[in-house]
Amino acid sequence: MAYIDYYTILGVDKNATQEDIKKAYRKLARKLHPDLNPDDRDAERKFKELNEANEVLSNTENRSKYDKYGENWKHGEEYEKAQRQQKQYQNQNQSNNFGGGFSGADFGEGEDFSDFFQSMFGGSEGGFGRSSRGSASGKFKGQDVHAELNLSLKDAAKTHPQTFEINGKKVRITIPAGVYDGQQIKLKGHGNPGFNGGPSGDLYITFNIAADQDFERVGDDLKTKVLIDLYTAVLGGDIKVNTLDGSVNLKVKPETQNGTTVRLKGKGFPVYKKDGAFGDLFVTYEVKLPTNLTEKQKELFEQLKNS
């Protein structure tokens, strides 16, 4: 398989921040998503490459390995292990007046890694590669997979099951109420298959929670705005206020000023993994002035003005 430059696929340079990578991925994912490009094989291929690039570069540990070892990044730890073993072997030989080390496997500082990876994983039939492939140390954990799951604010406020597909397999999870935007969970063993009998990688899911038109979330609290007419603001009265789980009656005090905020205790967002715990709901009144007044109504306002 030809070498694929993950930075080029995402359209970012090697100095890109994690936020730059996240933004680039989201932009291209929207453009190349199969739902928007039905029966387009080229878009499907690019979408797969995009996900692969994001899985590696969005993980700081994997990105560091990729920057160091390139296309062989998944086997970087094995290279470093072999290098340590070789140095240890050389030190033992020197102390025992033996020469050498591993024949044909001198891994010096600054060495090109390609020869090692070719012999280790590229089909070489001799030397160090063959013995390591057949040993327990030749088992490698599969690549971790990173996915994003989009939720509405109301979905994030309730515990519910969610099913999606990763690597052709359906994964069913239960999303706890109270997850927050950008939160990441780990599903052990749901990543890519391991190499040479090694364990599968892990699946990391990041939640993206869309902005809501009615509520603004601040931690576990919610904020909302409610229109009240001038007469209710001046004289007081009862109004209905929407919450995440229905509407409640709220009594407006007489002479309530525009911009007044009241708190409804326990009517906010559920606290993550704390059953029965909720934040508060803060309601801000916006006083709506009357329009299309009759002459009689204008006279009454004039009387109020001059009284």
- For the stretch 198-214, pLDDT in tens is 888 888 889 999 999 99
How large is the average pLDDT for residues 150-171? 87
What letter represents residue 115's amino acid? Answer: D
Q: Which residues of 176-208 are buried (b: 16+ CB within 10 A; e: fewer)?
A: bbbbeeeeeeeeeebbbebbeeeebbbbbbebe
Residue 220: per-residue pLDDT: 93
Residue 32: per-residue pLDDT: 84
Pick the residue with more confidence: 148 or 223? Answer: 223
CB 81 within 8 A of CB 137: yes
Residue 88: per-residue pLDDT: 58
What letter represents residue 276's amino acid? Answer: G
pTM strictly above 0.85: no
**92 pLDDT above the threshold of 70:** no
Residue 124: per-residue pLDDT: 37
Residue 255: per-residue pLDDT: 94
Q: Provide the pLDDT confidence category of residue 190 given band limits of 50, 70 and 90.
A: confident
Residue 286: per-residue pLDDT: 96
Q: Is 223 helix (H, G, I), strand (E, B) or coil?
A: strand
User: 87-96, 136-145, 201-210, 223-232 — which one is most confidently predicted on average?
Assistant: 223-232
**SS3 per residue for 89-153:** HHHHHHHCCCCCCCCCCCCCCCCCCHHHHHHHHCCCCCHHHHHHHCCHHHCECCCCEEEEEEECH
Q: Is 165 helix (H, G, I), strand (E, B) or coil?
A: strand
Residue 82: per-residue pLDDT: 63
Q: Which residue has the tokens 């030749």?
A: 138
In the chain, where does the domain assigned CATH 2.60.260.20 lie? 141-210, 216-306
Q: How many residues does the chain have?
A: 307
Q: Provide the pLDDT confidence category of residue 122 given band limits of 50, 70 and 90.
A: very low
The CATH code for residues 141-210 is 2.60.260.20
CA distance 180 to 158: 12
- The set of residues, in sequence order, having a beta carbon less than 8 Å from that of 18 and lying 6+ positions away, is 58, 60
CATH class of 216-306: mainly beta
CA distance 204 to 236: 52
Cβ-based burial of 15 (10 A; exposed 0-12, middle 13-18, buried ≥19): exposed
CB 125 within 8 A of CB 133: no
What are 4-21's pLDDT values in tens digits?
788 888 999 889 999 999
What are 266-280's pLDDT values in tens digits?
999 999 989 899 999
